[in-house]
Amino acid sequence: MQDRSWISDFLRRWSRKGYPLSEDDGFYAALRSLQAESLKVPPAIIDRTEPVSETDALLLDLLRAWNIYVDGHTVPARQKVAAIGRQLRGRPEVWIFVGLIALASGNRGQAWQALSRAQRLDNRNEPLRILLGRFGERRAPVLPFLDRGNPLNVALGKVRARVFS
């Protein structure tokens, strides 16, 4: 699955990047222990990490939610991320995980929206910029006089993608 390799590459790059935000030291320390092959942060490391603030504790919960998602428990993970998102709306990390879960679920439109929002909140995040660049540009509908979602445009667009990819 191409999206899985994108996620793996992003998480590997993001976990290696140094972040100067001292209030999130626990989150980023735990993120650095990410295992690229399983896409998970070892739960023991998350549990041993001492949060330095309430925000840091919520960000560590994001890592737990991501692990829950990777283990195949989609609904509880989405609910947990949504609950954390309501408390930390202005944090790019929340939108990154919303986008990664959407991308892993095959919902590229929702992934693009969430990751773009994260990019607006943290425009210095180079790994995120690279991930967004992999989405490419959206092509115009094959039949511009019909709506983009029209079944004929969708089918012809898929044919065009196969022929020109």
Residue 96, Cβ density class (10 Å: 0-12 exposed, 13-18 middle, ≥19 buried): buried
Residues 90 and 147 in one domain: no
Q: What is the pLDDT of residue 162?
A: 85
Residues 121 and 148 in one domain: no
For residues 96 and 157, state if they share a domain: no
Domain shared by 120 and 159, yes or no:
no
Confidence of residue 153 (pLDDT cuts 50, 70, 90): very high
Q: How far is the C-alpha of 112 from the C-alpha of 103, rounded, in Å?
A: 8
Q: Strand, coil or helix: what is 44?
A: helix
CATH number for the domain spanning 112: value is: 1.25.40
- Do residue 58 and residue 120 come from a single domain? yes
Q: Categorize the per-residue pLDDT at 20 as very low, low, confident or very high, splitting at 50, 70 and 90.
A: very low
- Say what the pLDDT of residue 2 is: 56
Q: What is the pLDDT of residue 1?
A: 43
**pLDDT tens for residues 96-150?**
888 888 888 888 888 899 999 999 988 888 888 888 888 877 788 999 999 999 9
In this model, does residue 32 exceed pLDDT 60?
yes
Q: Does residue 62 share a domain with residue 43? A: yes
Q: What interhelical angle do 108-121 and 126-134 show, nearest 10?
A: 150
Residue 116 shares a structural domain with residue 87: yes
10: closest CA among 133, 137, 138?
133
Mean pLDDT of 49-62: 84
Strand (E) or helix (H) holding 13? helix 2-16
Residues 79 and 152 in one domain: no
Could you tell me if 126 and 144 lie in one domain? Answer: no
112 with 147, same domain: the answer is: no
pLDDT digits (tens, 9 = 90+) for 67-102: 888 888 888 888 888 888 888 888 888 888 888 888
pLDDT of residue 37: 66
Return d(Cα 70, Cα 76) in angstroms, integer. Answer: 11
Q: From CA 154, how far away is CA 160, in angstroms rounded?
A: 10
Q: Are residues 118 and 99 in contact, defined by beta-carbon separation less than 8 angstroms?
A: yes
Q: Alpha-carbon torsion 103, 165, 13, 20, what sign?
A: negative
Residues 10 and 90 in one domain: yes
State residue 21's pLDDT score.
Answer: 47
Q: Note down the domain range covering 158.
A: 140-165
Q: Domain tally for the chain?
A: 2
- Shared domain for 108 and 157, answered yes or no, is no
